[in-house]
Amino acid sequence: MKKKTTMTVLDSRMLAQDIWSLELAYAPEDLPDEVRPGQFAGLFPAGGEMLLMRPISICRWDRDRGVLRFVYRAAGKGTQSFTALKKGDRMDMLGILGNGYDLNALRGRHVLLLGGGIGVPPMLELAAALHDTADAGTRVTAVMGYRNSELFLREEMDAFADVYIATEDGSAGTKGNVLDAVRENNIQADVVCACGPLPMLRAIKRFAEEQNIPAFLSLEERMACGVGVCLGCVAKTRKVDEHSKVHNARVCVEGPVFPAEDVDLD
């Protein structure tokens, strides 16, 4: 549902250094028909000084309350402006955007979720959705990678998955990255879902190929329009894109989630 909606701020708080949680509520008449794990929305900085939206992955969706939760890194001027939001404030949002994870392809399997840094938040919504299919035999293991012991969203993830931790400085869990933790704990799975920086995704693609298991990767790209018009967020692909007729795809429309074999990360 690619429309601009005015949302109401329910909560805004800092979870770790530069990491913030933001909850936004829909008006009842604006509720989307569907929100899938891995999708995102474009949040507009207040005041109108910056025209472009900031694409933020959906961390949690509470349909009963009509509430979206975003967990983001306050890195630039736009996202820094979000940290000043207070309960009751209003902000514009474009969404829901993008192509999320296909739950039917994961149902009944042992799914390994790999989230690195700000790639952790969308893994929480995916873990929750998969947990709801546990009666079909779905099993979820999550490996979450952080810089240090500020383990944002760790407790929430514990409710939906078997959780392992990797930290760059070794202050918690395995010292190193998420794949170091996978190997140290001899974690085996049927399929991998991942979100994080490009070097991490590149390594995960190789890992999945070595293990001969499918992988679904959520790519991070700078975006302008969020609806596939500007072609500012293309990624190289193995297949020919139906829109541009070349070997690329628009991350904001065909992605951000792709089968690993469909994207060229080299």
State pTM to two decimals: 0.93
pLDDT, position 233: 72
| DSSP annotation string for 83-121 | TT--TT-EEEEEEEESB---HHHHTTSEEEEEEEGGGHH
Give the whole-angstrom CA distance, residue 166 versus residue 151. 10
Contacts 24+ apart (CB under 8 A), 174-183: 177/116, 177/145, 177/203, 178/114, 178/115, 178/116, 178/143, 178/144, 178/145, 178/204, 179/114, 179/203, 179/204, 179/207, 181/143, 181/145, 182/112, 182/114, 182/143, 182/207
pLDDT in tens, the chain (266 residues): 578 999 999 999 999 999 999 999 999 999 999 999 999 999 998 766 667 889 999 999 999 999 999 999 999 899 999 999 999 999 999 989 999 999 999 999 999 999 999 999 999 999 999 999 888 899 999 999 999 999 999 999 999 999 999 999 999 999 999 999 999 999 999 999 999 999 999 999 999 999 999 999 999 767 667 676 777 677 777 766 566 666 688 877 787 999 999 998 88
For residues 155-170, one letter each, b for 16 or more C-beta atoms within 10 angstroms of the residue's C-beta and e for the rest, the string is ebbeebbebbbbbeee
What architecture (CATH level 2) is domain 103-217?
A: 3-Layer(aba) Sandwich (3.40)
Identical fold at 3-97 and 103-217? no
**Closest to 22 measured CA to CA, from 77, 76, 89:** 89
pLDDT, position 52: 82
Domain boundaries, the chain: 3-97, 103-217, 219-266
pLDDT, position 89: 97
pLDDT, position 142: 98
**What is the CATH topology of the domain spanning 219-266?**
Dihydroorotate dehydrogenase B (pyrk subunit); domain 3 (2.10.240)
pLDDT, position 49: 62
Task: Give first-to-last CA distance, the chain, whole Å.
Answer: 33
CATH for 3-97 is 2.40.30.10
Tokens of 31: 């509720």
Give the whole-angstrom CA distance, residue 142 versus residue 172. 15
SS3 205: helix
